């Protein structure tokens, strides 16, 4: 089946994670995404230690999940010939995708205001740390800082009095990357109507703010939002809590509508006595009476009477929204994750087969998502330049003078 974005050409002038995640989404749905990479390689090629993978550029699952289904050319855009080649690629491109900082783009003559005159139909898409305006627009931005730190995660998602939690690399980046993909598709749709390109931007900070909407809007009122970080006993709704089982597993429950769900929840876990007590319902009276801790302890006592499989079955039978808290290994082995196609097998350039993750959007008319191996540095450089009208002699000269680089296997 033909993919929805077949015929769309994207130039990915970006590194690390967020913009690459955007490109991966577009590539998964048929776009020809061409990575423009420096000869030394994207920094994500060299994060072996923190991921525990081999010290081998040819086995890199982080690179695979971000850049599978793409092609790659390695240009030195600081040379006249390298920059000329980049502009040649942009002549028939639909999208330029970048996460360079604004100042770097301006110094290189690759900022939106410069390029829009030369390429009026180009959709120019940017991921920034803090946004394109404001006093901090030029600060460097990573998801650990602009998303987790400034976005409220690090401060608030911990128990009161405890050390901050260690954030997950790429979590914020993946989130903002998909937001930018949505903006790009919107701009491409609008171009069909107007014939004009556009500047599409989002940032780690803005996306984090949107994600935190419930609490940020709640802080306008005299309520729970002011109390974060909170302890387990500050949870105004004990039926939204996470509880330990007898085998020291955790089950997260989710009954945000306390009053309508109260009897259902208590009947499901066999605690009719908590209903009959008459003091835990309605929610407002329970809170006013200072009974939050007492009710949490009662629910916890019941969970500790069962192992995780037993409690899972009890909650399933009672149709109580819940989930066992999974480890990474649990997720990798979860039949549900595999049933929805969350993972695919990728054969790394060294021949080792590993799992990689798919982007999470499916279109029925496109069929299954594909997972072609991500390119090595500049791997398709020759074919990409030939498509742009370069002959072998010109390409060889660029290789000779360093404006073009193609990785060679020395092993």
Which fold, 237-330? formyl-coa transferase, domain 3 (3.30.1540)
Q: Which helix (H) or strand (E) holds 13?
A: strand 9-13
Query: What residues contact 205, with CB distance under 8 A and at least 6 apart?
Result: 129, 130, 131, 141, 146, 147, 150, 151
Q: What are phi and psi of 201, to 5 degrees?
A: -135, 150
Cis peptide before 282 (omega within 30 of 0): yes
pTM, entire model: 0.94
Asked if 182 contacts 89 with a C-beta cutoff of 8 angstroms, the reply is: no
Q: Which helix (H) or strand (E) holds 181?
A: helix 171-194
- Note the CATH number of domain 9-211+342-405: 3.40.50.10540
* pLDDT tens digits, one per residue of 58-74: 999 999 999 999 999 99
Catalytic positions, please? 173
pLDDT band at 399 (very low <50, low <70, confident <90, very high): very high
55, pLDDT greater than 80: no
**Residue limits of CATH 3.30.1540.10 in the chain:** 237-330
* pLDDT tens digits, one per residue of 113-155: 999 999 999 999 999 999 999 999 999 999 999 999 999 999 9
Token pair of 226 as six digits: 């002011």
Phi-psi domain of 296 (left: phi exceeds 0; alpha: psi -120 through 50; beta: other): alpha
Give the per-residue pLDDT at 127: 97
* pLDDT tens digits, one per residue of 203-213: 999 999 999 99
**Residue limits of CATH 3.40.50.10540 in the chain:** 9-211+342-405
CA–CA distances in Å: residue 279 to residues 218, 221, 261 = 27, 26, 15
């Amino acid at each position: 089946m033909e993919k929805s974005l077949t015929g769309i050409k994207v130039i990915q002038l970006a590194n690390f994670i967020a913009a690459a995640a955007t490109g991966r989404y577009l590539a998964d749905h048929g776009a020809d995404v061409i990575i423009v990479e420096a000869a030394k390689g994207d920094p994500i090629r060299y994060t072996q230690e923190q991921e525990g993978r081999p010290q081998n550029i040819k086995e890199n699952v982080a690179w695979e999940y971000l850049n599978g289904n793409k092609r790659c050319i390695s240009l030195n855009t600081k040379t006249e010939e390298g920059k000329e080649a980049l502009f040649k690629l942009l002549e028939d491109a639909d999208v330029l995708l970048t996460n360079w900082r604004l100042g770097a783009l301006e110094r290189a003559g690759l900022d939106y205001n410069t390029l829009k005159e030369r390429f009026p139909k180009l959709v120019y898409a940017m991921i920034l740390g803090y946004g394109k305006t404001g006093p901090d627009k030029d600060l460097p931005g990573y998801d650990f800082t602009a998303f987790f730190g400034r976005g409220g995660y690090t401060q608030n998602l911990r128990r009161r009095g405890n050390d901050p939690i260690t954030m997950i690399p790429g979590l914020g980046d993946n989130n903002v990357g998909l937001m930018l993909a949505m903006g790009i598709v919107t701009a491409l749709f609008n171009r069909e109507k107007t014939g004009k390109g556009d500047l599409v931007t989002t940032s780690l900070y803005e996306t984090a703010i949107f994600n935190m909407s419930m609490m940020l809007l709640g802080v306008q009122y005299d309520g729970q939002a002011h109390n974060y970080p909170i302890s387990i006993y500050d949870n105004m709704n004990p039926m939204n809590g996470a509880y330990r089982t007898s085998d020291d597993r955790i089950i997260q429950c989710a009954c945000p509508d306390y009053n309508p769900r109260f009897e259902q929840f208590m009947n499901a876990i066999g605690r009719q006595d908590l209903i009959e007590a008459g003091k835990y319902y309605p929610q407002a009276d329970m809170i006013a009476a200072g009974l939050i801790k007492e009710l949490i302890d009662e629910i916890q006592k019941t969970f500790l009477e069962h192992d995780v499989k037993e409690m899972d079955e009890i909650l399933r039978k009672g149709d109580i929204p819940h989930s066992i808290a999974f480890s990474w290994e649990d997720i990798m082995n979860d039949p549900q994750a595999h049933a929805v196609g969350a993972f695919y097998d990728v054969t790394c350039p060294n021949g080792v087969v590993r799992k990689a993750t798919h982007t999470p959007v499916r279109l029925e008319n496109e069929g299954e998502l594909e997972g072609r191996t991500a390119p090595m540095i500049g791997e398709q450089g020759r074919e990409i330049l030939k498509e742009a009208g370069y002959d072998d002699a010109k390409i060889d000269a660029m290789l000779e003078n360093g404006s073009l680089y193609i990785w060679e296997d020395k092993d």
